[in-house]
Structure formats: structure tokens, C-alpha cells
Structure 1
Amino acid sequence: MWEATRRMMRTTREITRVLRAAAVVAALAVAGCSGNKLDTSALNPDPPSKMFADADAMMAKGNFDDAAVKFESVDREHPYSQEARRSIVMAAYAYYRAGKTPEAIASAERYITMHPGTKEAPLAHHVIASAYFDDLKTANRDQTPARKALEQFKILKSRYPESEYARDADNKIRICQDNIAANEMEVGRYYLNKHNYVGAINRFKTVVSDYQTTAHVEEALARLVESYMALGITKEAQNAAAVLGHNYPDSKWYKDSYALLQSDGLAPREDGGSWLSKAWNSVPKLSVPKMSFGNG
């Protein structure tokens, strides 16, 4: 009888353990379901179209920071929706309007990487160009912002010539080029004053080759005459003076260059095989005709 009682007690304990284990499993399942419901409720329940419209409304009210965050949430929470792609570039634009240029550039670059050539791509390039343009430095400082802005404005002009942003780019291209040329002249004059004529020539050559339409080209040509004369490379000095005289005959820089050559018994003389003649004639001029040399 005692043996039967012990067997019954063991059976009861086994049943109890099984019931407790089942209760734990059930509790975990309930907790898991509850957790899933919480996770689901944490997501924005709004459809992407409403989220985009809300962000657009924030933009209209001037709440650019909030709009940028809202646009980003469209892409994050509805990445496969039609609104997701445009929300990336709109976030970039909102960040730019908020004055957050690093965030604006990062978002716009992400858009260009993911969606090149799409209809919003001109806006992305415009955001990047404008962000760098707003950060232009004076001539004696690093011109990286000017170079990067210039690159983006040129992309707008070449790839998207009919876009509204391309039409606005011409004047800013000229400003960027002028800034870069001014910096090259600043460094070139420094080298010239230090009698580092080769270093000076390289800077002035850049202005003459790449930034011929800026106001700095006359001085650059005159400085080339000065630098080449200092090195005794008279043929190049005469050619630089000839380019200067034929295109800017009334320039004070030409008068100075002419006098410098005369002091050594020389005169301006064209050399059609010179790098300068080739570089000069390779770029169309808007305000002056291509040079036509004589033999004087």
C-alpha cells in the first residue's frame, strides 16, 4: 500500500512540473505577442503619402528641421513606397534651408548615388552646389568649397541644361572661377616675390589655361612675362606679351610687359607652337575674338 501511495505522489509531482512548464511557455508566448504588438504600435501608422504631405506642410511653414526629419522617416519606414525616393532629396533640401550643410550634402549625395539621372537629380546637385557655394572663402584661403561648387554647377549645365537650376548656374560659375583664379594669383605672386619662378609660372599658367574668362587673366599673362624674363626664357616671355597685347591692347599690364621686354631689347612676338598659344585658342571667348598674330 505504501508503495502505491509513493507511486501516486511521484505521478502527482510529475504532473505538477508539466503544468508549471506549460504555464511558463504560455506566459512567454503571451509576452511575445504583447511585445510584437508594442513594436507594431511604435511604427508610424500613417501611409507614406500622408507622411510626405505632412513634411511638405512643415516646409511651407518654415519648420525645416522638423520637415527634414519627417522626410527621412518616410524613406526609413516606407522604403519601397513611391514617396521614399523623393523624400531623400527633399530631406536634403530641408536640411539646406535649415542651415545644416553637412546633413544637406550627405543626403543629396546619397540620393545621387542611389538614383542618378532621375527627375529629382538636378535638385540634388543644386543642393550640393549651393551648400558649397555658401561656404566660399576669400582668395587667400582654401578654395575647396569653390572647386566643389563649380563641379556641381557644371554638372547641372552639362547634364540638365533645361532645368531651372541650370539657368541659375551661370553667374555662380563665374563667381567660383573668379575665386579660384584669385587664389591662384595670390599664391603665384607669393612665389614670384620669393623668386620661385617655376612655382609662380605654374600658378599663372593655371589661370591662363583654365580661367581665361576671369578678370585675373590680364595680370596672369603679365606675370608670366615677368617670370619668364627672370628665368631668361625670352621666347615664352615674348609670346605671353603678344597674347596680352593682341587681346588687351589698352591694358596697363600690357604696357608694363611691353616696357619690360623693351628694357632687354625685345618685343612681343607670337609663337604658335607654344603651350600658351594652344591653350589660349582652345577656349572660346565671349567678349574678345581669338587672337590673330602678326610678326611684330
Structure 2
Amino acid sequence: MFFIFTLGIPQFLSSCASSEADITSGWSQQKLMDEAKTALADKDYANCVKYHEKLESRYPFGPSAEQAQLNTAYCNWKKNDIELALVSINRFIQLHPGHADIDYAYYLKGLITFNDNLGFFASFSGQDLSERDPKASKDAYEAFKILSTRYPNSKYTPDAIDRMRYIVNSLAESDVNASRFYFRKGAYIASINRAQNAIKEYDRAPAIEEALYLMVKSYDALGMKDLSEDTMRVFNTNFPDSNIFKTGKRVSVTAREGSWWQIWNTQSP
């Protein structure tokens, strides 16, 4: 019986090997390019990555390899492999700094890290935003900044600028959400510190109105009258028409319909 069993092992292993055979092994360069293009068009991102990686490894020189690198980064991003997408796009930027599509490469790099950031939407989950790492947002901002600075006429630059605006505002919003969280917990010094950070780093963001408001309220709670009055003077200078001290809500921002970068959380203590 043992002899009979062992006779079946080579056949079993052969069957496994054939089932795992690389179906692309006999494909020409054109066949690989066509299948990769089809996978991309069909949003079959797993095969999109697979075929483009095969294309680059077998034909590592020329425009098709360069395009394969870009498409590999894009498809990794679309299938939510953020780390692999960043490796791919950083490699492309390093190897081809003068490429005709380098503006798109920086735009894609920004999108990859931009999508990895929850921004102020995390405030709706009840998460303490003071614990969030803003690195992804800042990395996205830097990529968009390089694009908009070096390639101001790129077709991707207007959207990149909008996204930069959103990132700045969401980072400010994150600090103000944290400041509000600490205020409600009675941690007034922590509330002041996060509000001050928002003012220092993002002084033109809409959330600054509430940051100053939280500082005034926190100083009042701590009995620091002089600092409260000084902050109130700054507030009145910058937001003379605000009703936040009457309503508990800052002036709402009228967003254009569909303008995702202009959505603000207007809740206050």
C-alpha cells in the first residue's frame, strides 16, 4: 500500500506544478501589453499589476517598461496596496526625473498618500484625533506642492492645488477637533495647546475661528483673564462678524455642490 501511495506523489506534484504554471510564459511583448491594457480597462487590478510587472521584467528598457512602472503603481494603489504603490511610484520618479509624464507621477504619488488619510472624517467615528499621525497628509501635500511648483501648467495642477487646500484645512480641523475633545474633557491646557498648533501651522484655515474661540473658553475656565482678553482681541480683529460666542457654532462655509475640499465640521462646545 505504501508503494502504491508513493507512486501517486509525482503525478500529484506534477498536477500542482502545471496548475501553477505561468500562463504568460509564452506571451510576446505585444501580447503582454494588450493583456495588461485590458486588465487596466476592466479594473482587474490584480492582473493589471501582474502583467505590468511581467512586462517590465522581461522587457526592461524603453517606453513600454516605463509605462509599466507607472501602471504598476496605479494598479497597486487601486487595489489598496499603498506601500507597494509608493515603492513603485518612488522608483519611477528616481529612475526617470525627466520623463514626459513626471508631472503625473508626482500627482499619483500625492493621490496614493492622500487617499491613505482620513482627514477630519475620522471625527465622525468618535476617534480621538489627537492620536492620529498626520504624516500621510503631509507627504501628500509635499507631492502636490512639487507638482504645482515645478509644473504649474500641468493639467493635474489645478486639482492638486485643490487637494493641498483640503489637506491644510483637514489638518487644521484635526487639531481643532482634538482641542474640542480636550475642552469637553476639562483638559484646558491640552485644548489650548492643540488650538495654538492649528493657529501656528494653518493660520488661514476656516477652523481657526473655532481654535481662537476654544482658547478664549479654556483661558476663562482656567481663570486666566489677561490671556483670555488678549485672545479675544485677536479673535475680534480676524472674525468681526462671527457669532460663535452666541451660537456655539462658527460661521458655516458655503461649499459649492460637489466640492469635497470645502466640507467643514461646524460643531463647537
Question: TM-score scaled by structure 2?
Answer: 0.65
CA distance in 2, matches of 1:158, 1:63: 34
> 3-state DSSP class of the match of 1:225?
helix
Q: CA deviation at 1:229?
A: 4.5
1:116 aligns with 2:97: yes
> Is the 8 Å Cα contact of residues 104 and 127 (structure 1) preserved in structure 2?
no
SS of the residue 1:56 aligns to:
helix
Aligned position for 1:46: 28
Deviations 1:19-43 (A, max 9, x none): xxxxxxxxxxxxxxxxxxxxxxx96
Query: Which piece of structure 1 moves more, 190-199 or 154-163?
Result: 190-199
Taking the TM superposition and a 5 Å limit, the aligned residue runs for 1:125-204 are 125-137=106-118, 138-139=122-123, 140=127, 141=129, 142-144=132-134, 145-204=136-195
RMSD over aligned Cα atoms: 3.1
- Residues in 1 aligned to 2:73 and 2:218: alpha-carbon distance in whole angstroms: 47
Structure 2 vs 1, CA of residues 84 and 230 (structure 1 numbering), >3 Å: closer, same or farther?
same
Match in the other structure for 1:96: 77
What is the identity, as a one-letter code, of the residue corresponding to 1:155? I
Asked if structure 2 preserves the Cα contact closer than 8 Å seen for 1:197 and 1:231, the reply is yes
Tell me the distance in 2 between the aligned counterparts of 1:85 and 1:209.
42
Q: 1:223 offset after TM fit, Å?
A: 1.7
Residue among 81, 86, 92 paired with 1:105? 86
**How many Å separate the matches in 2 of 1:193 and 1:99?**
36
- The question of 1:223 aligning with 2:214 is answered yes
Give the letter aligned to residue 199 of structure 1. Answer: A
Paired with 2:91 and 2:176, the residues of 1 have a C-alpha distance of 35
Amino acid at match of 2:139: K
- Partner of 1:199: helix, strand, or coil? helix
Question: Given the alignment of the two structures, is residue 84 of structure 1 paired with residue 75 of structure 2, yes or no?
Answer: no
Q: 1:88 Cα shift?
A: 0.7
- Structural mapping, 1:21-40, within 5 Å: none
Give the drift of 1:236: 4.3
Q: Tell me how far 1:70 sits from its aligned partner.
A: 1.5
- Which residue in 1 is equivalent to 2:45? 64
Supply the distance in 1 between the matched residues of 2:161 and 2:227 (Cα, whole angstroms).
33
* Runs (5+) with no aligned partner, structure 2: 1-23, 249-269
Q: Distance in 2 between matches of 1:135 and 1:223?
A: 29
Q: In the alignment, residue 86 of structure 2 is paired with which amino acid?
A: I
Structure 1 position 203, deviation (Å): 0.9
Q: For each residue in 1:223-256, what CA deviation from the matched residue of structure 2 results, as whole angstroms up to 9, or x when unmatched?
A: 2223345556555433322222122112123569
Q: Aligned partners of 1:88, 1:184: CA distance in 2, in Å?
A: 37
Contact 1:105 1:127 in 2 (8 A): no
> Measured at CA, do residues 82 and 128 of structure 1 come closer, stay the same or move farther in structure 2, by a change above 3 Å?
closer
Identity in percent: 27
Relative distance call for 1:230 and 1:113 in structure 2 (3 A) is farther
Per the alignment, in what secondary structure is the counterpart of residue 156 of structure 2? Answer: helix
Deviates more, 1:101-110 or 1:212-221: 101-110
Question: Which of 18, 36, 40 is the aligned partner of 1:55?
Answer: 36
Report the Cα offset of residue 188 of structure 1: 1.7
Radius of gyration: which is bigger? Answer: 1
Alignment of 1:252-267 (within 5 A): 252-253=243-244
